Amino acid sequence: MNLPRFLGCSLAALALAATGLAAPQAFEGTVRFTMTTPHGTVPMTYVMKDGLVRTEIEAGGQTVAMLMDFAKREMTMLMPQQKMYMVHPLPDPAAASGPGQEAGSAPDVQLTGQYETILGYKCQKIVVKTGDTVAEIWGAEGLGLFMNPGMGGPMGRGRAAPRSAWEAEMVKRGFFPLRVVTHGTGGQETFKMEATAIDTTAPDASLFAPPPDYKKFEMPAMPGLGGMNPFSH
């Protein structure tokens, strides 16, 4: 499986992109997901502790990990193969907008009143319609806010991917999605994410910092740009 291609699709589909920027609620623990896109299926691990979030995606024998520190407003991407890491500032929430968030194109949000228990958590089904896209989300309360870096790689210029309409609704309403199914034109399924396990054991603090043997990677300046890093804006 082509990891960069899959991540580009998966992270763009999730794309909460750290734009809630209020520290997640008090939940501490680990949620494991399975994500499915037209490019394949991969596991994702989501770890939360004290306003810190670690997201890991595995594919093709490689692991991509993102660390988010809401107090410092920083996002760190770990590169295990190179034993390096990169640090980016978290974006201004006002700068991130996605389909269905522009003026005059507000999504149609339906709180269905239907509930299902997923992994012991009561979830309400929410349907969000934006244009030809329909997202069905089963959201739980009390699990904090779901944030995803949405970078798509080290050349992401430190910017977040736009949030989709359903993701914005999750942040707005304080729901944590334990199941998401999106459908495109014609009703075909375009993305599915479902939680497979929840562990409420408090994670070790070391998970939210680069390993001590990792070196910080600084994007080199390019000639003719006055020493500025072109990927910092």
Identify whether 201 is part of a domain.
yes
Identify whether 151 is part of a domain.
yes
Identify whether 13 is part of a domain.
yes
In DSSP notation, the chain reads: --HHHHHHHHHHHH--TT---SPP-S--EEEEEEEEETTEEEEEEEEEETTEEEEEEEETTEEEEEEEETTTTEEEEEETTTTEEEEEEPPPGGG---TT-STT---EEEEEEEEEEETTEEEEEEEEEETTEEEEEEEESSS---------STTSTT-PPPPPHHHHHHHHHT-EEEEEEEE-GGG-EEEEEEEEEEE-SPPPGGGGS--TT-EE--PPP-TTTTT--TT--
From residue 60, give the alpha-carbon distance in Å to each of 5, 38, 41, 55. Answer: 11, 16, 11, 17
Condensed to tens digits (0 to 9), the pLDDT of residues 57-110 reads 887 777 889 998 878 888 899 988 889 999 988 765 544 444 444 444 677 888
Identify whether 29 is part of a domain.
yes
pLDDT at 185: 83
Identify whether 232 is part of a domain.
no
Domain that holds residue 200: 3-216
Identify whether 152 is part of a domain.
yes
Identify whether 58 is part of a domain.
yes
Question: Per the structure, how many domains does the chain have?
Answer: 1
The model carries a pTM of 0.72
Condensed to tens digits (0 to 9), the pLDDT of residues 4-42 reads 454 544 444 343 333 333 444 567 899 999 999 888 888
Assign residue 82 the CATH number of its domain: 2.50.20.10
Mean pLDDT, rounded, of the chain: 74
